[in-house]
């Protein structure tokens, strides 16, 4: 069976606009909700919210490719690139590169997409990788660009991209399409449709030696931001990482056809889920601010350290809840002191307690104020 770029009519993707229209409407409504929610966060706290959301995306877009990053190093690099007060955590090359790219995508979303934009992102992302022949440039190797799995002697080919010699022409056409379909342009497309097509289109060209998945998701973020007129800050990579197998299956299926309605529906659902994740994150951030307004002056040093650690786990908290053993490990205190501290936190309304004896668990008691 031919790959999509070998099918007559490429890159004329076909899809059902009627099926996508309700999803496009939901996206616009949710975008307004996120904007309204963020306005409930004070300006200083908004900086930390950006750090949290961007670091999550940096971590997850790398995790989709099987690369695990140091979160604190990512956040330290983000602070530096956003011009915020630096911390003393070391900036590692891999983490610094993805953080720099994320900030560039965030801050230049309205700029036209050019070859130089993509080369800059690729250089930021992979300048540390000395294995690659071409960094900050399209691939040049003569062998086929394939995505394979399985045994070395019997590989399963999931996709084969156009030969390297065709990439410059394909990317010229892609960039013209991206510009032509932008908001207020000649062939403007709705937000989800344009972002979903741009990701599939780019991944089907696969123009770089490595990093195509991360760059393709950055392109989708740029496309969405252009359509809503501001950085999207949605948890797209976070959501895709949770659906990783399905994501790759959808890409593989739709790199063999130009009929892409199911892909666009899948992608739209991922974006809408990502928007809800972001709304939940913003709500958690607001609840955290309210929590500290109520309790900050009532916490001793040990309690403050444990509470900070609990908040670091995010909206889902410690899996199964915080135990006395967790508290002792975090604070380095004795069991008797841990028992008193935890009881005090329950009495002042900072924590809730469930279970008995060794099954006792504690969770943050957050206000239910909606963003």
Distances (CA, A) of 280 to 34, 35, 283, 333, 337: 10, 13, 5, 33, 34
What's the pTM? 0.87
Instruction: Record the tokens describing residue 327, joined without a space.
Output: 């508290």
Distances (CA, A) of 13 to 25, 154, 293: 22, 32, 53
- In this predicted structure, which of 195-199, 256-260, 289-293, 328-332 has the lowest mean pLDDT? 289-293
Predicted pLDDT of residue 323? 94
Alpha helices, DSSP H, located in 127-190: 167-180
Q: How confident is the model over 197-227, as pLDDT tens digits?
A: 999 999 999 999 999 999 999 999 999 999 9
> Beta partners for 157?
148
Superfamily for domain range 4-283: Fido-like domain (1.10.3290.10)
Mean pLDDT over each residue of the chain, to the nearest integer: 92
Using the predicted structure, report yes or no on whether residue 257 has a pLDDT greater than 80. yes
Predicted pLDDT of residue 163? 95
**Is 4-283's fold the same as 299-364's?**
no
Predicted pLDDT of residue 132? 85
Residue 152: other Cβ atoms inside 10 A:
6
Predicted pLDDT of residue 368? 58
Report percent pLDDT > 90 for the chain: 71
366: left (phi over 0), alpha (psi -120 to 50) or beta: beta
What spatial distance separates the first Cα and last Cα of the chain, rounded to whole Å? 50
Averaged pLDDT for residues 68-91: 87
Using the predicted structure, report yes or no on whether residue 78 has a pLDDT greater than 50. yes
Using the predicted structure, report yes or no on whether residue 284 has a pLDDT greater than 60. yes
Predicted pLDDT of residue 370? 47
Averaged pLDDT for residues 218-241: 92
Nearest to 117 by CA among 175, 167, 166, 165: 175
Architecture of domain 299-364: Orthogonal Bundle (1.10)
- Enter the DSSP assignment of 352: E
Q: What is the dihedral of CA 323, 326, 331, 333, to 10 degrees?
A: 70
Q: How confident is the model over 17-56, as pLDDT tens digits?
A: 999 999 999 999 999 999 888 888 877 788 888 888 899 8
- Enter the DSSP assignment of 13: -
Using the predicted structure, report yes or no on whether residue 181 has a pLDDT greater than 90. yes
Contact 158, 149 (CB under 8 A): yes
Using the predicted structure, report yes or no on whether residue 266 has a pLDDT greater than 70. yes
Distances (CA, A) of 46 to 49, 59, 189: 5, 20, 31
Predicted pLDDT of residue 265? 98
Domain boundaries, the chain: 4-283, 299-364
| E-strand stretches of 265-365 | 351-354, 361-364
């Amino acid at each position: 069976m031919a790959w999509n770029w070998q099918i007559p009519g490429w890159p004329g993707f076909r899809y059902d606009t009627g099926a996508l229209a309700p999803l496009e409407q939901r996206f616009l409504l949710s975008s307004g909700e996120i904007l309204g929610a963020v306005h409930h966060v004070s300006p200083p706290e908004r900086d930390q919210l950006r750090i949290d959301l961007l670091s999550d995306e940096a971590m997850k877009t790398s995790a989709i490719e099987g690369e695990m990053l140091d979160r604190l190093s990512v956040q330290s690099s983000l602070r530096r690139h956003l011009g915020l007060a630096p911390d003393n955590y070391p900036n590692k090359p891999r983490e610094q590169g993805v953080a720099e790219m994320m900030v560039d995508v965030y801050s230049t979303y309205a700029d036209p997409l050019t070859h130089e934009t993509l080369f800059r992102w690729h250089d930021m992302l992979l300048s540390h990788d000395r294995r690659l022949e071409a960094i900050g440039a399209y691939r040049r190797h003569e062998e086929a660009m394939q995505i394979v799995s399985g045994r070395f002697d019997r590989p399963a080919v999931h996709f084969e991209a156009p030969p390297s010699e065709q990439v410059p022409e394909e990317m010229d056409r892609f960039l013209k399409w991206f510009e032509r379909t932008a908001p207020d342009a000649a062939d403007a497309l709705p937000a989800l449709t344009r972002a979903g097509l741009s990701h599939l289109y780019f991944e089907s060209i696969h123009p770089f030696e490595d990093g195509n998945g991360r760059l393709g998701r950055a392109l989708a973020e740029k496309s969405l931001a252009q359509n809503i007129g501001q950085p999207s800050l949605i948890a797209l990579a976070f959501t895709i990482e949770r659906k990783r197998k399905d994501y790759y299956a959808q890409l593989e299926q739709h790199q063999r056809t130009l009929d892409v309605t199911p892909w666009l529906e899948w992608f739209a659902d991922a974006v809408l889920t990502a928007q809800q994740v972001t709304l939940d994150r913003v709500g958690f951030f607001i609840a955290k601010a309210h929590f500290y307004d109520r309790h900050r002056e009532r916490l001793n040093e040990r309690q403050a350290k444990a509470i900070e650690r609990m908040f670091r786990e995010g909206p889902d908290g410690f899996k199964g809840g915080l135990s006395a053993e967790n508290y002792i490990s975090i604070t380095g205190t004795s069991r008797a002191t841990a028992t008193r501290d935890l009881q005090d936190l329950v009495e002042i309304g900072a924590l809730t307690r469930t279970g008995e004896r060794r099954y006792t668990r504690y969770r943050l008691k957050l206000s239910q104020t909606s963003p």
